[in-house]
Structure 1
């Protein structure tokens, strides 16, 4: 199994620290997770492109690109000793040590995507949140994991209170505070599905949800205050190291920085308007790092919200601009986040479609396919691509990591196939 792990040292020359390189570029898809090392020098990011990247923040250089997971890397965490953890849509959590070519340990208790990680206050245990409806706590040194059941849907976030109790937030609109040992959790019912969670050293709990409201709860779960950040869902939260400010990220791309005591919005970090999925403060409190739909890790002045270096407001190039008005391109717009069309554009979360017609399934060079796909006897052509979307990937290509999607309208399927014939043809 370990032979399948791939550790790719970045073939990049470390760039001198300068504002021109304040945006960290390397992911091939949205940046889903961010964490900063305890000394503030390094960051680790997780991407929709199934990779994690270890960064030297001030140099703007990728030190290593880690490709182990078979799905989007949705959660990362750093350890005091310099190690770090990655959790992904494949349900696995990997513990890494810098310089090693493979994970030191892999935890595989979850049966669904892992979307949140938290280290206990004593550094001895790791908690995780998963879309399998559970949270888990396991000793980092090894041993059985404790399973926490109760949420009636995706568990989206997890964090520890200072006294060692665990807090979970779920799509079922509940916050749950779990005892350190076995016992019934305190359940706090909220008004909206919950996406994000952060805990202060005094025990206050910040939660963000689908209704665009930041709520601040007391340590006993009672509501102290709420801050409206409409109209878009809050999808990420981070507390400043001194605990005085809360940074709240939204689907619309703006990040509100809120004074925790007064609950007033101090300023916004204004980016290119794409979702900000992840954010983290550097330990000295001087900078905020954000990761989002533009595939970048950005650096911001935490005192005033100004970008560090040029903001680079441009969105990723529109791969479908040349096909404006094409009905097949409109259908394909749901796929463009995962697949490229032209030679030289590389892989994203899914393999490139350049030259796909006439290609046997699971043979695109330099992409990691599952063994199940490699065993299928399918050659991609107009008929097989149409069939894929008629019956759905799960039935037609069992073992795929492709999100389930069916195109029920035959004319739409035909338009998509004709578009792909033109757009993916080798020049």
Structure 2
């Protein structure tokens, strides 16, 4: 009964929320992944802030913010039975039921970040691609997963062909085809690392990545046509519901919509210039939904490429403006995307740094830390934070999800500590 009441409340929320907002703000970091439900009413987004958000698309309202993962949410997908899945930098895949605040089931087995998800055409299995060099096939009814081994390096993308065969692609620049049982069948090597895949109902495969070119491949690996989009890498691909168009999102802040048959760009969505990390179509093909480095989920008219609602948003206040000219503030600019300085700004991809000095590691109640950090006996002081940047997070805090970075200059480390002492009080 509690589950039923939660679902009823969720359904009523969808129906009763207020007027539409075409730019949806709620994530504390770049929007890394998007999926739209089969009825076109809801979108699920995943962010670098470790959160997944369920949106009412016609109202522009965040209906539910889900915090389970202990890392960036890199992939989301809708399952045919009404559930949805999220996958994360923490190596886990969570299966959710709409309206519930905790996952119904958690799939564990990957030893690295999960980068992509795909659902089998018959709805019986879920495929995942991960940076541990493998892909996995998970039976949704339960049971052991099958591991697909063969890539050399990160596996970035996964998709299903209509007959149940699996396509994977990765940093080794290969696109590989596997049987439905996970046996290797064929592979082709492309000129550069592959970040994204899309598969059409006729079996054609679109692959794109570092060299900013979308290539249309047959199942033998032959390239029918390349479409050069340059100069920025392509991050995500999405096939239109009718299969005639491919949307290619790029690190340069644009989305090219390509006529698949002609291999020609129809138009380009021009955003605010920040990377577009994710793209999805509404099921009737009328709109494109994008998520990017501006932390927004945006809607676009798929017929014209025009933004729905105002494209420009008020420029956020520069948190470092009061420290203009200070060396420590300039060093900290590399950290702004992941960490806020004020408690009321909450977490981003990393926890807020408000009150950091004197605080025990992994102790903020509103942020999900890795188990490795929770077991450490560190109190953050100017000395311990400086040491973190001197030797690097991987050595000083093994098991952290913080990107590896060091500050080699002792003067810059000292300037950063002086800045943090003032800015985080």
* TM bracket, shorter-chain basis: over 0.9
**Which residue of structure 1 aligns with residue 220 of structure 2?**
220
Following superposition, the deviation at residue 363 of structure 1 comes to: 2.7
Matches of 1:152 and 1:349, distance apart in 2: 28
SS of equivalent residue, structure 2 residue 158:
strand
Residues 1:380 and 2:380 are matched in the alignment: yes
Contact 1:294 1:315 in 2 (8 A): no
Following the alignment from structure 1 to structure 2, what is the Cα–Cα distance between the partners of residues 183 and 31?
34
Whether contact under 8 Å (1:294, 1:316) holds in the other structure is: no
- CA deviation digits over 1:160-189, x for unaligned, max 9? 111111000101111001122353331111
Give the Å deviation of 1:410: 1.4
TM-score (norm 2): 0.93
Tell me the residue number matched to 2:3.
Answer: none
Where does 1:77-226 land on structure 2 (aligned, <5 Å)?
Answer: 77-181=77-181, 183-226=183-226
Q: Distance in 2 between matches of 1:172 and 1:326?
A: 42
CA displacement at 1:388 relative to structure 2 = 1.3
Identify the residue that residue 3 of structure 1 maps to in structure 2.
none
- Segments of structure 1 that go 5 or more residues without pairing to the other structure are 1-8
Other-structure match for 1:35: 35
Q: How much does 1:371 deviate?
A: 4.4
Q: Does 1:44 align with 2:44?
A: yes
Structure 1, 406-415 or 138-147: larger mean CA deviation: 406-415
Partners of 1:304 and 1:182 lie apart in 2 by 41
Cα distance in 2, alignment partners of residues 79 and 195 from structure 1: 23
Q: How has the CA–CA distance of structure 1 residues 218 and 374 changed in structure 2, closer, same or farther, with 3 Å as cutoff?
A: closer
* Residues 271 and 134 of structure 1, relative CA distance in 2, 3 Å threshold: same
Greater Cα shift, 311-320 or 378-387: 311-320
Shift of residue 411, structure 1, vs aligned partner:
1.7
Displacement of 1:313 in angstroms is 4.3
Distance, in Å, in 2 between the alignment partners of 1:83 and 1:319 is 39
For 2:185 and 2:334, locate their aligned partners in 1 and report how far apart those are by CA, in whole Å: 40
1:16 aligned to 18, 41, 58, which one?
18
Shift, 1:376, TM fit: 3.1
Query: Match of 1:416, SS?
Result: helix
- Greater CA deviation, 40-49 or 378-387? 378-387
1:5 match? none
- Structure 1 CA distance, aligned partners of 2:377 and 2:143? 42
1:289 aligns with 2:279: no
Report the CA distance shift for 1:260/1:317 in structure 2 as closer, same or farther (over 3 A): farther
Which residue of structure 2 aligns with residue 261 of structure 1?
A: 261
1:369 paired residue number: 369
2:249 corresponds to which residue?
Answer: 249
Deviations 1:316-369 (A, max 9, x none): 443333333332222222211110012321111211111212222223342233
**Shift of residue 315 of structure 1?**
4.8
In structure 2, relative to structure 1, the CA distance for the partners of 1:327 and 1:308 (3 Å cut) is same
Secondary structure class of the residue paired with 2:76:
strand
C-alpha displacement of 1:16: 2.6
Deviation for aligned residue 1:377: 3.0
Does 1:319 pair with 2:319? yes
Report SS of the residue matched to 1:311.
coil
- Contact 1:116 / 1:130 at 8 angstroms: preserved in 2? yes
